[in-house]
A and B are shown apart, each in its own frame.
Chain A
Amino acid sequence: MSDNLAKDEKDFALIDRIIAGDQVACRILIDRHKSYAFTIAKRILINSQEAEEAAQDAFIKAIQSLRKFNRESKFSTWLYRIAFNTAVSYKRKQKIVPDSLDDYKLGQLGESGNAETLLDQERHAYLMQAMNNLLPDDVTMLTLFYLKEFSLEEIEQITGIAANTAKVKVYRARKRLAAELQKILKNEVKTLL
């Protein structure tokens, strides 16, 4: 808890410096949050290139509106809400074909050697394929819930979905994910997973 508070304080100090025109502080703030913002965008958009554009766009919007940020919530929650909304709006006008499972496998499996790693990566690839077939809301719920950085109340702030509804949505998203996996792998879900 105190770690989180310290993190927030650091974010607020960086924000003050950015408003004063400090570019180094801006770089530090982006580096601190880029991975999570990109993950949210990637899970919604699937395509890496588009996810990167959406995440960058979200950062630009957030940094340009820093003075409007009221500091009542965590900076990360505010930023990820912007990232979520930006990714969803990109999704609506998405034209680029998502990265396919085959591309994923080729890219990810190429360098690994042992069978266990290959099986892990194959499991992950199938999981991602099943997630691709879910609705953006479901994917976001699972992403936010399983990355374990946020409580259901914070998920509510990011997505605008009430905490209780978010909880139910996570249940349903997992149920749909299991169904998708079963569809992809027929009866091999348990053996492969």
Chain B
Amino acid sequence: MKHYNEEELFSYIDGTCDSQSALQLERHLVDCPHCNELYETLLSVDSQLQLLPKEKPSAHFTSAIMEKLYVDPRHSVPFSFTYYTRYFLIFGLVVSVISLFISLFSIGIVNDGVLQHIGLNTYLFENISNTIIAFFKTGSFINIMLGVSTLLLLVLLDKAVLNPFFNKRSQKIVW
């Protein structure tokens, strides 16, 4: 008499064998005490495994992770601007449109020492060109460029030197 092996019996227990094989196996189990005993043992193991519970971690499990992530600088979550990119873009677009409208409909410029408010149809282009020329002549352009360069320099200094330096230092601190 051919005996069934564990794999075939488990396949029957799992319900993954076809119905004809299942029928044959059931008939065999009635006649074969050896296979029947093995089947009973495997079935018992299976039913115990079915009852395996999910383990519960300690009550402070989540808090411990949060502390490591947000308090301990060695583990801190790197903040990402990528998530906000779309909001920055929308905000930038709105600001540019508003600025454009303001500049088109009402521009206050100082022309020959006299403050002039001009509308769209009042010598618009002529006054704008005067303003641009005045902007470059008075040195405002150079001042603004100096300001932007200083800002960029500070950002570079922070990203390239200060940030890596302090990160390295903080990793050496025992918390």
Report which A residues bind B (CB closer than 8 A). Answer: 16, 18-21, 23, 26-27, 30-31, 34-36, 38-39, 42-43, 51-52, 55-56, 59-60, 63-64, 66-67, 123-124, 127, 142-143, 146-147, 168, 170-171, 174-175, 177-178, 181-182, 189-190, 193
The chain A residue sitting closest to B70, CB to CB, is A23
Interface residues of B in 22-50 (CB under 8 A from A): 40-42, 44-50
Expressed in whole angstroms, the minimum distance between the Cβ of B39 and any Cβ of chain A is 11
What A residues does B61 contact at CB under 8 A?
30, 34, 38, 52, 55-56
> In the complex the two chains form, is A146's CB within 8 Å of B57's CB?
no
> In the complex the two chains form, is A52's CB within 8 Å of B58's CB?
yes
**Distance in angstroms between the alpha carbons of A27 and B77 in the assembled complex:** 13
B1 within 8 A of partner (CB): no
How would you classify the secondary structure of chain B's contact residues: helix, strand, loop or mixed? helix
**Distance in angstroms between the alpha carbons of A190 and B44 in the assembled complex:** 7
B143 within 8 A of partner (CB): no
The chain B residue sitting closest to A182, CB to CB, is B41
- A-B contacts, 21 of them at CB < 8 A, read A21-B79, A26-B70, A26-B77, A31-B62, A35-B55, A52-B58, A55-B61, A56-B61, A59-B65, A64-B75, A67-B82, A123-B48, A142-B49, A142-B52, A146-B52, A147-B52, A175-B10, A178-B6, A189-B41, A190-B44, A193-B41
What B residues does A189 contact at CB under 8 A?
41, 44
**Interface residue from A18, A23, A67, A177 paired with B45 (Cβ < 8 Å):** A177
**Interface residue from A34, A43, A175 paired with B62 (Cβ < 8 Å):** A34
What A residues does B80 contact at CB under 8 A?
19-20, 67
> In the complex the two chains form, is A35's CB within 8 Å of B45's CB?
no
B7 within 8 A of partner (CB): yes
> In the complex the two chains form, is B54's CB within 8 Å of A30's CB?
no
In the complex, how many residue pairs between chain A and chain B have their CB atoms under 8 Å apart? 113
Expressed in whole angstroms, the minimum distance between the Cβ of B113 and any Cβ of chain A is 51
What B residues does A30 contact at CB under 8 A?
61-62, 65-66
The interface size bin for chain B is: 35 or more
**Interface residue from B44, B48, B65 paired with A60 (Cβ < 8 Å):** B65
**Contacts A19-B83, A52-B57, A64-B75 given: A143-B52 contact, CB under 8 Å?**
yes
B78 within 8 A of partner (CB): yes
> In the complex the two chains form, is B65's CB within 8 Å of A171's CB?
no
**Distance in angstroms between the alpha carbons of A143 and B69 in the assembled complex:** 28
